[in-house]
Chain A
């Protein structure tokens, strides 16, 4: 087991190196001269040269790459080009709001989809099953944007049940008042694909022999489904949720942007709109590291939950 972990950690570095190279290639080479972006409305050649020297882009690529690597090692990416706020400070302050929305979202949507998927799998083949599947397919085809727009308009603007957007100053206020609608939207959007996926996991389990044995032993349906089947189906579900985690962090972009939640996703969208390279580079590298770490953790948890699995 330890050997496996060491091997996986050892594999981090080439991949991280690749990510660094990719980000570097994208931003320092393809991205063009950032001095023109920063110089403002009245560019003069001296000013441009000054900025380029300050950013370090007038040096050969190898030197720039070395600077980038140093930045990653010291976790200090400098300051944002747009607001001049230190990137590390940006992260520290924005992580909280992101998590306040994401963690409840994850918990609620997973719980709901699991229950729904179990029920749907139980009545497999019936009209209910097919109707719900078609409903999920249609629901999936409506873009998340439409859900955001429509729900913001109907529930928040028209009916006034939730604030349309914004963020408060205390945790309690944020959690109950401001996160409610974003969480609702997030749950609705992720319900459809999750139900379809989890249903297939449950179906795999329901047809197994042990279910038949349990019923033959005389166990009630509730116990059979709720304890035995659930425990086995939960394994792929949990790993699926863990793998989705880093993507969720970055993918909450749209929700954060439209609800004006000062989280990391919103920072990224703002940075992309303003071509604010330090922020984008930093986020990409951090999220890549987080993804690799979470993938490793997911594999390890998979092993703990299901002793039949061999990891190598």
Chain B
């Protein structure tokens, strides 16, 4: 079991490392060309254009023209235009492998931040509802009912439509503010269970305040549930972020995301270029599987019933 935890977390770790590295090395879309229609054909044209027969007449403007051509393409052709990239390039010549790795960073960041927000909200509200009961519980349950009556994806899309503004912060806010419901229900149930246990009554007898009892005494005993939910939600939010980015409501245009890669690959497939789809799918599958395995191992390790 231990091995499972370490192996799974190693998988999670490795992918996380990739994300961190990519953050440093990813350059703005350098036109490294290759495997793309536009740049490859342009190179070919420019190559063959100079082989004309000049009938022995020297072109007086040739050297100047050559110089102009060189300065025009000077910036981009100073980097070697590799004919093939490790995983191919996309329409503008950006390296797909780097995009996939950078996308990892985006997804992890958005997924983690949103999950943290949702968990924080869910725990806070769940604790209040479960611990105090009475009208606080009723009000919060009403709130919960309202949010769960609307199918999740619909709610997310509706908020996205209203906010109408892209960017990672928006996505994190949307996902976090709608995803707290599952955690709320679980935390509330746990608090209901715990608040009548002896150690809580003892703390009350000693004079601990309500807040202190809630967070210092009960919370550590509930934390195993919360941790597992946190990592489940990271997975769910990563998948949602991809869908949002695909539809165009996610991160901005200049941030790489797997969703936008998938969106581009939809049209590329028709041209027979499958590598962006493959790269994005592989990267996503790896990260989500690693995280899911990690969650399963975490749940097995932390579940007090199995000890």
Which of B143-151, B189-197, B198-206 has 4 or more CB atoms under 8 Å from chain A? B143-151
State in angstroms the CA–CA spacing of A144 and B246 once bound together. 11
Chain A min CB distance to B137 (Å): 14
Inter-chain contacts of A18 with B (CB < 8 A): 142-143, 145-146
Interface membership of A83, Cβ < 8 A: no
- A291 and B151 contact, CB distance less than 8 A: yes
Q: How many A-B residue contacts, CB cutoff 8 Å?
A: 128
B293 to chain A: which residues have CB within 8 Å?
Answer: 137
Asked if B150 and A19 sit within 8 Å, CB to CB, the answer is yes
Cβ of B3 to closest chain A Cβ, rounded Å: 15
CB <8 Å contact, B142 and A272: no
- CA–CA, A263 and B157, complex, Å: 17
Contact A30 B162 (CB under 8 A): yes
Assess the A269–B157 pair: CB atoms within 8 A. Answer: yes
Closest to A15 in B: B145
Contact A141 B289 (CB under 8 A): yes
**A137-B292, A141-B292, A142-B285 given as contacts; is B151 within 8 A of A246 (CB)?**
yes
A54 within 8 A of B: no
Digitize B121-164: 1 where CB-to-A-CB distance is under 8 Å, 0 elsewhere: 00000000000000000000011011111111111011111111
Q: In the bound complex, what is the Cα–Cα distance between A160 and B288 (angstroms)? A: 32
- Interface class of chain A by DSSP: helix
Within the complex, the shortest CB–CB distance from A15 to chain B, in Å, comes to 4
- Contact between B243 and A254, CB atoms less than 8 A apart: yes
Q: Is B285 a contact partner of A141 (Cβ separation < 8 A)?
A: yes
> How far in angstroms is the closest Cβ of chain B from A245?
10
Interface residues on A, range: 35 or more
B96: CB under 8 A from chain A?
Answer: no
Do the beta carbons of B149 and A143 come within 8 Å of each other? no
Known: A15-B142, A18-B145. A31 touches B284 (CB 8 A): no
**What CA separation (Å) do A228 and B262 show in the bound complex?**
46
For residue A271, which residues in chain B have a CB less than 8 angstroms away from its CB? 161
Q: Is the pair B262, A22 in contact by a Cβ cutoff of 8 Å?
A: no
B220-269, CB < 8 A from A: 235, 239, 242-243, 246-249, 258-259, 262, 265-266, 269
B38 interfacial contact with A, CB 8 Å: no
Residue of A nearest to B153 (CB): A251
A271 CA to B248 CA, complexed, in Å: 14
Determine which of A150, A247, A272 lies in contact with B161 in the assembled complex, contact meaning CB atoms within 8 Å: A272
Distance, CA A146 to CA B242, complexed state (A) = 11
A273 to B164, CA, bound (A): 9
Q: Of the 9-residue stretches A109-117, A118-126, A281-289, which lies at the interface with chain B? A: A281-289
CB distance from A87 to the nearest CB of B (A): 15
Task: Tell me whether A149 and B277 are in contact (CB under 8 A).
Answer: yes
In the assembled complex, how far is the CB of residue B268 from the closest CB belonging to chain A, in whole angstroms? 10
User: Does B281 reach chain A (CB closer than 8 Å)?
Assistant: yes
Give the distance in Å from the alpha carbon of A31 to the alpha carbon of B159 in the complex.
9
Q: Which residues of A contact B296 (CB under 8 A)?
A: 137
A275 near B: Cβ within 8 Å?
A: yes
In residues 157-182 of chain B, which contact A (Cβ within 8 Å)? 157-164
Answer whether residue A26 sits at the interface, using C-beta atoms and an 8 A cutoff.
Answer: yes
A37 shortest CB reach to chain B, Å: 9
Q: Which residues of A contact B284 (CB under 8 A)?
A: 141-143, 146
Are A280 and B161 closer than 8 Å at their CB atoms? yes
Beta-carbon contact of B269 and A153 below 8 Å: yes
If A137-B289, A251-B153, A268-B157 touch, whether A145 touches B246 (CB-CB below 8 Å) is yes
**How many Å lie between the Cα of A250 and that of B158 in the bound state?**
12
Q: A11 to B142: give the CA distance in the assembly, Å.
A: 9
Tell me, rounded to whole Å, the shortest Cβ–Cβ distance linking B103 to chain A: 12
Q: Are B281 and A146 in contact (CB under 8 A)?
A: yes
CB distance from A36 to the nearest CB of B (A): 11
A82 to chain B, nearest CB (A): 12
Which of A22, A143, A280 is most buried by chain B, counting CB atoms within 10 A of its CB? A143
- Point out the residues of chain B lying under 8 angstroms from A254, CB to CB: 243
A15 contacts which chain B residues (CB < 8 A)?
142, 145-146, 149
Instruction: Report Cα–Cα, A21/B162, bound state, in Å.
Output: 15
Indicate whether A91 reaches chain B with its CB closer than 8 angstroms: no
Residues of A within 8 A of B142 (CB): 14-15, 18
* Min CB–CB distance B159 → chain A (angstroms): 7
Contacts of A32 on B, CB cut-off 8 Å? 162, 164
Q: Nearest residue in A to B161 (C-beta to C-beta)?
A: A272
Please give, as numbers and ranges, the residues of chain A lying within 8 Å of B152 by CB-CB distance.
Answer: 247, 251
**A157 surroundings in chain B (CB, below 8 A):** 269-270
Residues 132 to 151 of chain A near chain B (Cβ within 8 Å) = 137-138, 140-146, 149-150
Q: Which of A30, A145, A269 contacts B262 (CB 8 A)?
A: A145
Min Cβ gap A25→B in Å is 10
The docked-state distance in angstroms from the alpha carbon of A37 to that of B161 is: 12
Could you jot down 17 A-B contacts, CB within 8 Å?
Answer: A19-B146, A19-B150, A137-B289, A138-B285, A142-B281, A143-B242, A149-B277, A247-B151, A247-B152, A247-B153, A249-B151, A254-B243, A272-B157, A280-B158, A287-B149, A287-B151, A292-B149
Q: What are the 7 tightest A-B residue pairs by CB atom distance, in nearest-first order?
A: A141-B288, A18-B146, A250-B151, A288-B149, A272-B161, A247-B151, A250-B154
On A, residues with C-beta under 8 Å from B are: 11, 14-16, 18-19, 21-23, 26-27, 30-32, 137-138, 140-146, 149-150, 153, 157, 246-247, 249-251, 253-254, 268-269, 271-273, 275, 277, 280, 283-284, 287-288, 291-292
Beyond A23-B158, A273-B248, 7 additional contacts (C-beta under 8 Å) are: A140-B288, A143-B258, A146-B277, A150-B281, A249-B151, A250-B151, A253-B157
